[in-house]
Amino acid sequence: AVAFPPIYFPPAPAPAEGPSVTIPDIPGTSGYNISEFIVVVGFGTPSQPSALLFDTGSDLSWVQCQPCTGHCYQQNGPLFDPTKSSTYDVVRCGTPECSVAGGMCNGTTCLYQIGYGDGSSTTGALSQETLTFSSSRTFSSFPFGCGTTNLGDFGSVDGLLGLGRGQLSLASQTASSYDGTFSYCLPSHNMSRPGFLSIGAAPDTGKVQYTAMIKKPQYPSFYFVELASINIGGYVLPVPPSVFTSKGTLLDSGTTLTYIPSKAYALLRDRFKFTMKGYKPAPPSEELDTCYDFSGHNAIFIPGVSFKFSDGAVFELDFFGIMMFPDDAQPAYGCLAFAAGDDDSFSIIGNTQQRSAEVIYDVAAEKIGFVPFSC
């Protein structure tokens, strides 16, 4: 069983391995009206701060830019102003970067256009600029989108930081200097410890469980893993591994919930309900159909949940990776943070399940590691 409030044991300091740089991350629910996670970096010389959601499911980073000739949504800070930077430049047509971005042009200026799965989009000039990642580390001539038509729900962030597998992502652009590795820890719901995003080698604490990073040619930017089974309170869901492996499983920082095949979800939900008989059921909340009213309880006990992968690696979820409390106005209202996915598509391990674990993307070695209870 997993109890809340959880008991934390501070990790022993580990020796650093190779070059790395780390910045804090925060939930987008903390003032940005989105369910993804945010880092603040700088663009330009002098640096103009930008609060960006970071996304392992997309490549090109972008910010909203002046002059906003199409449509810009309301963001918390000022728009990036290229005219105030001495290091800004557009990417020219005919360059390799322009070809990777799709090869669209307006005169000699390369353009970019990106559409996301939820229907949102961004369009503008493909550009390059000095990216200030931290006070001690900058990346010059970093390719990014200077977005002048940005449509859809991005909350009130300034743009997006792409961490996908494609050539234009931050992960790929920094691979030669930082061993092709990055990691993050998404802070737990109760924010007991700060989260972080690191570029470079993660210290080996001996607690990491690595699984193979799977490539799917039809989704070149995505990071897949081979989920084989789910354990809930010592009970392994009675479905064959092929239920998960036939379509594969996407690991994504930009999706909130975890979506699994409907047959597996029904078994998980029913087992969860069976172990939660001592708590009062509550109405569903949108996709979350297994909810409870925990009013009057000083502690909540739920069954532990872990993912097991085909190569034997195990990822144990945090309390807030299993339960979600979707309404701040009702702090005692909690729901199982899983949903039934599209059986014709891959499963997705979303950011709720990843909270409080350090997730290590060793792209060079094609493996992904999990270190539970790291933030």
Q: What is the dihedral of CA 374, 352, 212, 143, to 10 degrees?
A: -90
Burial 241-271 (b: 16+ CB within 10 A, else e): eebbbebbbbbbbbbbbbbbbeebbebbbeb
Of 25, 55, 59, 318, the catalytic one is 55
The DSSP bridge partners found for residue 50 are: 41
CB-neighbour burial class of residue 158 (10 A; exposed 0-12, middle 13-18, buried 19+): buried
The DSSP secondary-structure symbol of 159 reads E
Closest residue by Cα to residue 89 from 19, 22, 160, 140: 140
293 catalytic residue (yes or no):
no
Residue 179 annotated among the catalytic residues of the structure = no
DSSP code of 82? G
- 366: tokens are 């094609």
Residue 7 CB partners (closer than 8 Å, separation 6+): none
The whole-angstrom separation of Cα 372 and Cα 41 is 26
The catalytically annotated residue of 25, 158, 179, 252 is: 252
Tokens 């001495």 appear where? 86
Instruction: Enumerate the active-site residues.
Output: 55, 252
